Amino acid sequence: MEFAIINNEITPSSEVRLSITNRAFLYGDGFFETIKIFSSKAFNLVNHYNRIINSAKILDLDFNLSVSELEKNANAIIRKNNIVDGSVRITIFRDSDGKYFPNDNKSSYCIYTYNDTQTCFVLNSNPLLLGVYEDNYKSVSALSSIKSLNSLLYVMASKYAKKNNFDDVLLLNSNKNIIESTNSNVFLCYGDVIYTPPISDGCVDGSMRKLIITLLKDKFTFLTKTITYSDIIECEELLLSNAISGVRWVGSFGEKEFVKKDMSSYLINELNKLI
């Protein structure tokens, strides 16, 4: 039997019940966070927690758990479900009556787990084939940076990628600049200079993105800049980052082929030192 946590209480997953008036279901009024687990411990927890607090602030949600309380709850459900390596997902939503306008801003949360066999970050052996999704664009605002429960853009882009035999696709903002993929932040490498789009261009404020920036700043020239198609074509190495995979290297985008994966390999090794 698997278990979940609903507002500090461990409950069998099969017994979790949410009302049909739940605002997460009706309006996507909330956000989520997915945290990688290695050896029954949360990886990169502080960056995840900081994004939770920032997301709650953007959505005007009352979320009062401290980082130690969140870690305690995560550890409890990890032990209960016997997770050694895997991940936990935390879904936080506004727990209130009302229609579009909520009657109050109190929040509720659910934590549940996924099991896998990945004992460390492993660089993909097969290079990613990337496309670009242009049917819908992502608007730029404070909401762009959070992992919203309204994920329609990512759903439709993922369907497009699958239909067209891509491993992933790059997403564009309303200015038609490249900002991210369906599940990752993007980094471009020109020798020892590394670029990534700024949060102000509309990409998700990735927890792994923050960690990688910290790792890069001490040894390389790191810059944030608006990314165009020509930047992708001209760069020497293209990599994607997210909380679950760490880093993945890209082999091709359109007719452009990437041979180098030096930075990807370096970052995987540096991340594994932190486990």
Domain boundary among 86, 115, 144: 115
For residues 140 and 265, membership in a common domain is answered with yes
Q: What percent of the chain has pLDDT over 70?
A: 100
For residues 94 and 204, membership in a common domain is answered with no
Asked whether residue 264 is domain-assigned, the answer is yes
pLDDT of the residue at 114: 97
pLDDT over threshold 90, residue 258: yes
pLDDT of the residue at 238: 98
Strands 9-12 and 128-132, by their bridges, are unpaired
Domain boundary among 115, 139, 166: 115
For residues 36 and 168, membership in a common domain is answered with no
Q: Indicate the pTM of the whole model.
A: 0.95
pLDDT over threshold 90, residue 18: no
- Token pair recorded at residue 56: 């709650």
* Mean of the per-residue pLDDT values of the chain: 96
In Å, how far from its chain's centre is CA 13?
24
For residues 93 and 50, membership in a common domain is answered with yes
Which residues share a beta bridge with 170? 132, 181
- Cα separation, 180 vs 151, in Å, equals 14
Q: Which residues contact 62 (CB under 8 A, 6 or more apart)?
A: 56, 105, 106, 107
Q: Which domain holds residue 211?
A: 128-273
The torsion angle over the Cα atoms of residues 37, 42, 43 and 45, rounded to 10 degrees, is: 150
Return the CATH number at 224: 3.20.10.10
Domain boundary among 115, 146, 170: 115
- Cα separation, 178 vs 199, in Å, equals 12
- Cα separation, 64 vs 54, in Å, equals 12
Say how many domains are in the chain.
2
Say if CB 244 and CB 38 are below 8 A apart. Answer: no
pLDDT of the residue at 162: 98
Say if CB 88 and CB 100 are below 8 A apart. Answer: no
User: pLDDT digits over 121-167, tens only?
Assistant: 999 999 999 999 999 999 999 999 999 999 999 999 999 999 999 99
Helix (H) or strand (E) holding 71: helix 67-80
